Chain A
Amino acid sequence: MKFLNSKQKRAILKGLEEVYGITELNYLLVEFGKKRLRAFSGNLTREEIQQLSQLTNIEVIGMYLISRKDNDLRLNFDAVSLLRNQITKSITEINKEQLALWIRGHDLDIATERGIVVLKFQDELVGIGKSNTEKIFNYVPKERKIKTPVPS
């Protein structure tokens, strides 16, 4: 568990602005493991959290926000929902049939720019994927995929 300082947070925010258009992160950012950043909005200070961690096992703090992989800042599925009012870039709209496939974990045959893609259905942001220009690869977490068959 490592708290990001303001310089590190600025660097993250700059990356998020470039890819997603996100300009504000009113959270304490905590690095959990090598690649995962979590967002904490609580009012315990860093010192108090450190002290708590000496008393007990802290499993997680706040919410899983971003993973850093292959130079990408990939927003977590739920972070897309949390920051949906700020996301203005990298959005690709999908239709009802594509949503039905997407939420069940299927990749989508949609041609779009290479890189991170935020999927939008009507007024909802429904997750994040990565495009190789011909296909959007599905990043819906296993436990969040809908288990019923695709409606015919």
Chain B
Amino acid sequence: MTIMTKYKYTMKPLFEERMHALMPDKTDFKAYEKTIHTPPLDFIRCNTLKISPEKLLEKLKTKGWQVSQLYPKHPEIMLITSNIGPGELGNALEHQLGYYYIQEVSSMLPVIALDPKPDDLVLDLCASPGSKTTQMAACMENKGTIIANDLKIDRISILVSNLERCGVTNCIVTRKDAIAFCTHYSKSSLPKLDKILLDVPCSGEGTLRSSPKTFLQWNPKMIKKLSRQQKKFFAFAVKCLKQGGTLVYSTCTHSPEENEEVVSFALENFPIKAETVHIPLKSRPGLTEWKNDKFHKEVSKACRIYPQDNDSEGFFVSKFTLLGEIK
């Protein structure tokens, strides 16, 4: 299979109609369409638990790789611009030694928004495969504690393998249904959490470049089902947060039902405040209406990341502070 055929697929009519509604400008939509039909760029994140960006850069350049650091405030984010073979990133010694994590730049944004600090107690509720968990551990310098939860044992194996490779020592991996976990945690006498990363399972509309099969699996019923589940996740997770604590809700999809609708539901039902999200990529504000639905006006503080704006995957990131403890 050539690269061209791998990325050649057609949008389902309803999907195309929805994307048109999200991007009414024809030029914008064309740019979107063009971008999602090209392979994603080769981004890596330097694992600062093991090596500094300067040293990694030196090692990669010695290998003959061309590397760009596009974001001055985030030297750990690196783009490999040279032509590398399939599997070369994953098979490099530096990868095996845990010096970097292969991670698309838009997937780094939720943790940048959450900004976990050393000594924080953090919950990563849907943690596997661990890209964001390892990123948080690096931000926290292996201090504080991360509770990384997931449901399925096979996904947990991948998570643990990535944590080991990256030298993460401040993490406790738990296996439980997300809602059951939050129910038990919020009723316990364990300390409430400083920060929660709620990077929920979603329809994955933003990952078409790396995973074109998502296109074939897309259907509107799934979106409705996921939206209901995501609201539940939010409602139960927020109960574990301490007053003044921060929760980041993110997805790798564009669907407003899974993004603004969930965020609007949360703003209307819990004592939370939407925060401005500071990320190093170009983003667009959250929608305040979609089809016949009007959302809470604070939803506009959320960030929509479109592939054509940054030559990246698509993402949605929103951030909240809990104003009063939820009993």
Please list the residues of chain A having a beta carbon within 8 angstroms of any beta carbon in chain B.
Answer: 27, 39-44, 48-49, 51-52, 55-64, 76, 78, 81-82, 99, 103, 124, 126, 143-144, 146-148
Q: Which residues of A contact B96 (CB under 8 A)?
A: 103, 144, 146
Q: Once the chains bind, are A40 and B191 in contact (CB under 8 Å)?
A: no
The distance from the CB of A40 to the nearest CB of chain B, in whole angstroms, is 6
Question: Does B121 lie at the interface of the complex (its beta carbon under 8 Å from any beta carbon of A)?
Answer: yes
What 10 additional pairs, Cβ within 8 angstroms, besides A59-B174, A81-B98? A41-B170, A43-B144, A55-B181, A56-B149, A56-B175, A59-B173, A62-B170, A126-B97, A146-B93, A147-B91
The distance from the CB of A71 to the nearest CB of chain B, in whole angstroms, is 24
A60 to B, closest residue via Cβ: B173
In the complex, A48→B192 CA distance in Å? 12
Q: Once the chains bind, are A57 and B175 in contact (CB under 8 Å)?
A: yes
In the complex, A62→B147 CA distance in Å? 10
Question: Does B119 lie at the interface of the complex (its beta carbon under 8 Å from any beta carbon of A)?
Answer: yes
Q: Once the chains bind, are B143 and A64 in contact (CB under 8 Å)?
A: no
Question: Does B185 lie at the interface of the complex (its beta carbon under 8 Å from any beta carbon of A)?
Answer: yes
Q: Which residues of B contact A144 (CB under 8 A)?
A: 96, 165
The distance from the CB of A76 to the nearest CB of chain B, in whole angstroms, is 7
Q: Once the chains bind, are A81 and B173 in contact (CB under 8 Å)?
A: no
Binary CB contact string for chain B from 212 to 233 against chain A (1 if under 8 A, 0 otherwise): 0000000000000000000000
In the complex, A81→B98 CA distance in Å? 9
Q: Once the chains bind, are B93 and A99 in contact (CB under 8 Å)?
A: yes
> Contact residue range for chain B?
35 or more
In the complex, A48→B169 CA distance in Å? 17
Q: Which residues of B contact A40 (CB under 8 A)?
A: 169-170, 172
Q: Once the chains bind, are B98 and A44 in contact (CB under 8 Å)?
A: no
Question: Does B171 lie at the interface of the complex (its beta carbon under 8 Å from any beta carbon of A)?
Answer: yes
Instruction: From B98, B119, B143, B145, give the contact of A78 (CB < 8 A).
Output: B98
In the complex, identify which listed stretch (B15-23, B63-71, B156-164) lies at the interface while the others stay far away.
Answer: B156-164
Could you count the A-B residue pairs with CB atoms below 8 Å apart for me: how many are there?
A: 106
Q: Which residues of A contact B93 (CB under 8 A)?
A: 99, 103, 124, 126, 146
Q: Once the chains bind, are B169 and A43 in contact (CB under 8 Å)?
A: no
Q: Which residues of A contact B143 (CB under 8 A)?
A: 41-43
Ordered nearest first, which 4 A-B pairs have the shortest CB separation?
A42-B145, A41-B169, A55-B184, A42-B170
Report if A81-B50 is in contact (Cβ < 8 Å); known contacts: A48-B191, A56-B149, A59-B156: yes
Report if A52-B172 is in contact (Cβ < 8 Å); known contacts: A41-B143, A43-B143, A147-B91: yes
Q: Which residues of A contact B156 (CB under 8 A)?
A: 59
Q: Which residues of B contact A42 (CB under 8 A)?
A: 143-146, 169-172
Q: Once the chains bind, are A148 and B174 in contact (CB under 8 Å)?
A: no
B55 to A, closest residue via Cβ: A123
Question: Does B189 lie at the interface of the complex (its beta carbon under 8 Å from any beta carbon of A)?
Answer: yes
Q: Which residues of B contact A48 (CB under 8 A)?
A: 190-191
In the complex, A49→B191 CA distance in Å? 11
Q: Once the chains bind, are A63 and B175 in contact (CB under 8 Å)?
A: no
The distance from the CB of A33 to the nearest CB of chain B, in whole angstroms, is 14
Q: Which residues of B contact A61 (CB under 8 A)?
A: 171-173
